Structure 1
């Protein structure tokens, strides 16, 4: 049975899920049919429902849900789907039969219809696609967890979702905010997700065409020789990062000055994305993150 989370609204989740299933199955070009998109839509709807700021409208939540779906379309799909998206972003060509490109194009159209500024979202999405593509060629034998962070900070998709929500809310990163706070948020999410997917990432993929997913906890396990010690240290690191995030948040609020409203909107988005990610991961332990419930329960919210 899934844990009960006060932030989660089953009705809102159902609406998002139905919307994403209809959209993804209508655009499906998979040779095996649209069956895989049901699971992707469920995951995207779950994270969207948990990550939405409390003042978000239903229309905004639906757009953000499509942003989440874009991630799962690529992350759960074959390497060819990522290659097709990168080629489309590079050249604008190859849109026919390209589900990820169709989702991105539709997302941009939705944001344009709402009059949203996408100046931060577009480069974040590009960085995500490029970093995910580079990840496929990384030699894990020479990789360290810290060295991997340069790629992982983009492949985790946090910046994309944060900038999507800021775009929807007509907000921007405050001038007083340093990159440290968003980087801390990303590091928190990376550890939560890698702890959640530890079992899946520690086994060979089902398909030779599947994307490579490098797990920072698995990397640490290879170094220590003990998966238990690697998990224990990752939990400690996660909760220490949460404390650092809270301190950085307090500092940003203290120095906001006339930028207070902008700062408040930014922090609300980041906080809900980070906490929503952990709550969503906990909610999906049966579907996507088996065996991780006890470990995820030891992680603190920001």
Structure 2
């Protein structure tokens, strides 16, 4: 399949649905909402919501399932965007650019940026538990909420960021590096795929296969991110290049070298594709996404 066409189509669906879910920047809260909307709509590849949609499609490609999955996909993008706002803060990575634009705190100030991130995180769970996702059975909503909360929380994305900061400037081993980056990046990527599968009514074998797939592409995604930080330009990335080295972060290239890291990423992609053997051509978008993740240039 032509992955660029698929990505464009799915990005458009996500953008349109997000636009209908996020409050307008009017009234007394307009400054806060404007700050939230700035980072949410400033651009982005929308990989996590697209993985959610593709995970559902692998199980059930019907239009009805796609519509039910969109709100879950958009909630995941809210959580991802919140994490980027907070990662960019001076107390964290202290970055001035994100998605080719000034970071949230550079435009609105640090306090407003913190609150914008808080707003997006909590609003995501409003979307998952409220009227916007009422078409889903309550049991499925509870499972999805728990899955995403665990992936985003202290033993997932937030915990991974904490470990990442704790180990800046320190020599660490491979297992610690793997734990940091699975928690920081891979956990939410895996939850994105599996939550889509839950919406579509996946059986246990299908869920397990998609969980395995998510773990492998999460690893590949992080390795490629690390490589791009040292190989791409700021213009290509839309954020400062070389920031990991500047912050003395442990990365796959710094620990294993670029060649070994690139090989590991490609092996992870092949393992991800192999995990999809229970699925027919309905999972082709997931197969193509795995290849796109390792071949991307930004």
Q: Are 1:73 and 2:82 an aligned pair? A: yes
**Ranges in structure 1 where 5+ consecutive residues have no aligned partner:** 83-95, 222-229, 254-263, 290-302
The C-alpha deviation readout for 1:181-211, integer Å capped at 9, x for no partner, is: 5533432332233334444675248xx9xx9
Matching residue within 85, 102, 106 for 2:119: 102
Instruction: Find the counterpart in structure 2 of residue 203 from structure 1.
Output: 242
Evaluate the alpha carbon distance shift between residue 280 and residue 239 of structure 1 in structure 2; reply closer, same or farther with a 3 A threshold: closer
Q: Are 1:234 and 2:261 an aligned pair? A: yes
The two structures have a TM-score, normalised by structure 1, of 0.60
What aligned pairs does 1:113-192 form with structure 2 within 5 A after superposition?
A: 113=131, 114=133, 115=136, 116-117=141-142, 118-126=145-153, 127-156=156-185, 157-171=188-202, 173-174=204-205, 177=208, 182-192=214-224
**Ranges in structure 2 where 5+ consecutive residues have no aligned partner:** 93-112, 235-239
Evaluate the alpha carbon distance shift between residue 238 and residue 57 of structure 1 in structure 2; reply closer, same or farther with a 3 A threshold: same
Instruction: Find the counterpart in structure 2 of residue 8 from structure 1.
Output: 7
Q: Do the aligned residues in 2 keep the contact of 1:185 with 1:245 (CA within 8 Å)? A: yes
Instruction: Find the counterpart in structure 2 of residue 295 from structure 1.
Output: none
Count residues with an aligned counterpart. Answer: 242
The two structures have a TM-score, normalised by structure 2, of 0.60
Matching residue within 36, 41, 44 for 1:38: 41
Look up the SS of the partner of 1:139 in the other structure: coil
The C-alpha deviation readout for 1:83-138, integer Å capped at 9, x for no partner, is: xxxxxxxxxxxxx9733333233322332343323232221221212221231121
The structural deviation recorded for 1:152 is 0.7
Taking the aligned partners of 2:223 and 2:157, their CA distance within structure 1 comes to: 18
Evaluate the alpha carbon distance shift between residue 241 and residue 166 of structure 1 in structure 2; reply closer, same or farther with a 3 A threshold: same
**RMSD of aligned C-alpha atoms?**
4.5
The structural deviation recorded for 1:142 is 0.8
Instruction: Find the counterpart in structure 2 of residue 85 from structure 1.
Output: none
Q: Are 1:279 and 2:280 an aligned pair? A: no
**Structure with greater proportional helix content:** 2
